[in-house]
């Protein structure tokens, strides 16, 4: 659906994006993450035809962003990180204005606007001034605007930034609904836990370079470093010998002397081996648990080397 | 399918006319124009000798005062309103949304220009009752009124396009307004300055200044106040459509100053529009 083809963008001497090369399948919900200045916004601005690449290209459904920007714009709905406000305009007028900008026929416009306001749960705010909407409502209205021309691809730049927990949950539900409708969604966010819940794929950028791209499941399963929590019935110094035999590091929880934290490199089989060794050495194991691999840890792991 | 009105024009007018600012600008404009005309009328009336011919003179003077005051205000107002338009979209962070829509660069630029012209047109229309009063005094005919309005409209278009051009170049409305005003005021004061200095320098080298007069007429015609003054003089000499220049025994007939003014304003406006469109063009190509 979306092909980033050796995409490169220079601002003078500064390389904002350096050879981004990956393919996003149709219907995927892709998280775009990276530290500040990693090239996330540049990638999105290139995809939405707001800027032109220095070299390489982006293809959306077989159409080139450089050569056919007008056609690409029909396929893309863009929601920037800031909500631009026009004075003295109601929510319905706001959508009507953008519907005109997308050449949506006048006959279908009122029904479409009502449907979209219903979808984003703003039907009751139809005649409220846009300026009077809360941040969460404004974000939902912005999403409705991005959906006006029924785009196949949604590009959302930090959609959850500045939202309160309820608004974030509502937005997440809305994005799930859109994903279920088959839309391809590219979403950048600093809230990694949100992305872990939402996305099917993940692109990790750092200093303009692609450092990882895969499905969320694959990225989390390839994570080698993991933390094991072992809780024993009584303080057990013998556990140190067992753990260090595998060349893993162990520390005791300062709050609870019977709780040990093991930092290990290895897969699920290695974890089973450790448990087996504990039992063979009569360690009174009360609890043996692997801390769930998180997106935060994956992110820190894959981006550690470049900064 | 029925072609719709430019969406930018609708949004600009809707947004502008709903704010109290639009009302107060209109009140301010009319107060300034009417107040100046009233002062000039009072001064003219007190210095008149009570003859009926002086009524014509007073009518003509008040008419020109109204026209010149309106022109002076619009010289400032048109570029200021226009300069804030696209730069304002950037500042409000709504410009990217327009660029990612199906609107072409031309639609965006012309929407902004038409919105500014429409508001200036409203101000000029609101002045009509004041202009009508000068007809009661005499000394003004309908043809003269149309010509003066044509000069104002052409100049307002020119200053609007200048404002729009700077609006595409600047990131903030304040910067755009600064550059637009500097350009317009530089034009308004710079052109007469050249008109004074160049003939003086020219006269040092050549005795015959007829060529210079012809060139100056064409060059200075773009200046609305000079065009108005020269047109008024020409109308008194019954030269409404043409302007005759003698160069070394040859008689050359040029279009009247007001026609040259309109043509020059249009040409410079087109240049500004093309430059403005080119500035936002790279991502606006239609395939």
Give per-residue pLDDT as tens, B109-122. Answer: 999 999 999 999 99
Report the distance separating Cα B65 and Cα B42, nearest Å.
12
pLDDT band at B286 (very low <50, low <70, confident <90, very high): very low
Does A88 sit within 8 Å of B19, measured CB to CB? Answer: yes
Cβ proximity of A52 and A243 under 8 Å: no
Q: Which residues contact B160 (CB under 8 A, 6 or more apart)?
A: B78, B79, B81, B82, B113, B116, B117, B120, B269
Cα distances (angstroms) measured from residue B147 to each of A1, B143, B154, B202, B225:
60, 6, 11, 32, 13
Mutate to test the interface with B, among A45, A58, A69, A72 (most CBs of B within 10 A): A69
Helix (H) or strand (E) holding B242: strand B242-247
pLDDT tens readout for residues A178-229: 999 999 999 998 778 778 888 999 998 988 899 889 888 887 766 667 788 8
Mark yes or no for CB contact A67/B2 under 8 Å.
Answer: no
Q: Do A143 and A159 contact (CB within 8 A), yes or no?
A: yes
Weakest mean pLDDT among A211-215, B162-166, B202-206, B283-287: B283-287
DSSP chain A: -EEEEEEEEEETTEEEEEEEEEEEPTT-EEEEE-STTSSHHHHHHHHTTSS--SEEEEEETTEETTT-HHHHHHHEEEE-SS----TT-BHHHHHHHHHHHTT--TTTHHHHHHHHHHHTT-GGGTTSBGGGS-HHHHHHHHHHHHTTT--SEEEEESTTTT--HHHHHHHHHHHHHHHHTT-EEEEE-S-HHHHHHH-SEEEEEETTEEEEEEEHHHHHHT--EEEEEEEESS--THHHHHHHHTT-EEEE-TT-TTEEEEEEE--HHHHHHHHHHHHHTT--EEEEEEPPP-HHHHHHHHHTTT-
Q: Calculate mean pLDDT across residues A163-176.
A: 84
Question: Is the pLDDT score of B214 beyond 80?
Answer: no
Nearest to A187 by CA among A207, A177, A202: A202
The answer to whether A88 contacts B96, with C-beta atoms less than 8 Å apart, is no
CA-nearest residue to A102 within chain B is B102
Contacts with B97 (C-beta within 8 Å, 6 or more apart), sequence order: A78, A80, A84, A98, A145
- Residue of A67, A81, A85, A87 best to disrupt the B interface, most CBs of B under 10 A: A87
Beta carbons of A86 and B94 less than 8 Å apart:
yes
Average pLDDT value over all residues in chain A = 88
Phi then psi for A283, rounded to 5 degrees? -75, 125
Question: Cα(B26)–Cα(B33) distance, rounded to whole angstroms?
Answer: 11
Q: Touching check for B286 and chain A: CB below 8 Å?
A: yes
pLDDT one-digit tens code per residue, B40-53: 999 988 887 666 56
Residue A97 contacts B where some CB pair is shorter than 8 Å: yes
Which is nearest to A281 in space by CA: A232, A247, A241?
Answer: A241
Asked if B18 lies within 8 A of A88 by C-beta distance, the reply is: yes
Q: What is the pLDDT of residues B189-212, one digit of tens each?
A: 998 888 778 777 777 776 666 666
Rounded CA separation B24/B27 (Å): 5
Residue A184 burial class via C-beta count within 10 angstroms: exposed 0-12, middle 13-18, buried 19 and up: buried
Contact with chain B for residue A154, Cβ under 8 A: no
**Average pLDDT of chain B to the nearest whole number:** 88
CB contact under 8 A, B287 and A69: yes
């Amino acid at each position: 659906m979306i092909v980033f083809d050796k995409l490169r963008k220079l601002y003078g001497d500064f390389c904002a994006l350096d050879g981004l090369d990956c393919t996003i399948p149709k219907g995927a919900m892709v998280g775009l993450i990276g530290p500040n200045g990693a090239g996330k916004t540049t990638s999105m601005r290139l995809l939405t035809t707001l800027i032109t690449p220095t070299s390489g290209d982006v293809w959306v459904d077989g159409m080139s962003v450089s050569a056919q920007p007008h056609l690409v714009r029909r396929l893309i709905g863009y929601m920037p990180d800031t909500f631009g406000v026009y004075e003295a305009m109601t929510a319905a007028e706001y959508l009507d204005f953008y519907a005109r900008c997308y050449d949506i026929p006048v006959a279908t416009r009122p029904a479409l606007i009502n449907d979209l306001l219903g979808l984003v749960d703003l039907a009751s705010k139809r005649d409220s001034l846009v300026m009077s909407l809360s941040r969460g409502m404004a974000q939902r209205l912005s999403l409705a605007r991005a959906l006006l021309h029924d785009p196949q691809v949604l590009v959302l730049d930090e959609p959850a930034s500045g939202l309160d927990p309820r608004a974030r949950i509502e937005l997440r539900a809305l994005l799930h609904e859109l994903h279920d409708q088959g839309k391809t969604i590219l979403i950048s966010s600093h809230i990694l836990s949100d992305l872990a819940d939402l996305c099917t794929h993940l692109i990790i950028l750092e200093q303009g370079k692609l450092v990882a791209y895969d499905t969320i499941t694959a990225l989390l399963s390839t994570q080698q470093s993991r933390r094991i929590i072992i809780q024993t019935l009584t303080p057990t110094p013998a556990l140190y010998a067992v753990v260090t035999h595998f060349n893993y590091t162990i520390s005791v929880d300062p709050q609870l002397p019977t709780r040990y934290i093991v930092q290990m490199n290895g897969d699920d089989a290695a974890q089973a081996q450790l448990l087996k060794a504990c039992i063979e050495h009569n360690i009174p194991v009360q609890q043996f648990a692997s801390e769930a691999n998180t997106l935060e840890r994956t992110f820190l792991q894959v981006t550690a080397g470049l900064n | 399918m029925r072609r719709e009105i430019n969406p930018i024009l609708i949004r600009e007018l809707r947004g502008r006319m709903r704010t109290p600012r639009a009302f107060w600008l209109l009140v301010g404009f009319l107060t300034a124009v009417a107040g100046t005309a009233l002062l000039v009328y009072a001064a003219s009336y007190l210095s008149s000798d009570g003859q009926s011919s002086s009524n014509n003179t007073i009518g003509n003077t008040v008419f020109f005062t109204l026209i010149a005051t309106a022109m002076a205000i619009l010289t400032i107002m048109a570029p200021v309103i226009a300069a804030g338009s696209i730069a304002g979209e950037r500042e409000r962070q709504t410009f990217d949304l327009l660029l990612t829509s199906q609107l072409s660069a031309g639609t965006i630029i012309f929407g902004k220009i038409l919105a500014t012209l429409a508001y200036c047109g409203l101000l000029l229309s609101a002045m009509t009752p004041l202009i009508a009063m000068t007809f009661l005094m005499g000394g003004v005919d309908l043809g003269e009124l149309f010509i003066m309005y044509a000069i104002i409209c052409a100049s307002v278009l020119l200053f609007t396009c200048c404002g729009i051009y700077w609006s595409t170049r600047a990131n903030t409305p304040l910067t755009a307004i600064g550059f637009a005003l500097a350009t317009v005021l530089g034009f308004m004061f710079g052109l007469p300055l050249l008109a004074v200095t160049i003939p003086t320098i020219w006269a040092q080298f050549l005795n015959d200044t007829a060529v210079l007069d012809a060139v100056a007429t064409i060059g200075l015609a773009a200046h609305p106040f000079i065009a108005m003054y020269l047109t008024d003089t020409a109308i008194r000499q019954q030269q409404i459509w043409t302007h005759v220049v003698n160069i070394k025994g040859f008689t050359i007939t040029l279009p009247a100053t007001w026609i040259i003014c309109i043509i020059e304003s249009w040409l410079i406006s087109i240049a500004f529009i093309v430059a403005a469109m080119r500035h936002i063009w790279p991502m606006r190509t239609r395939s």
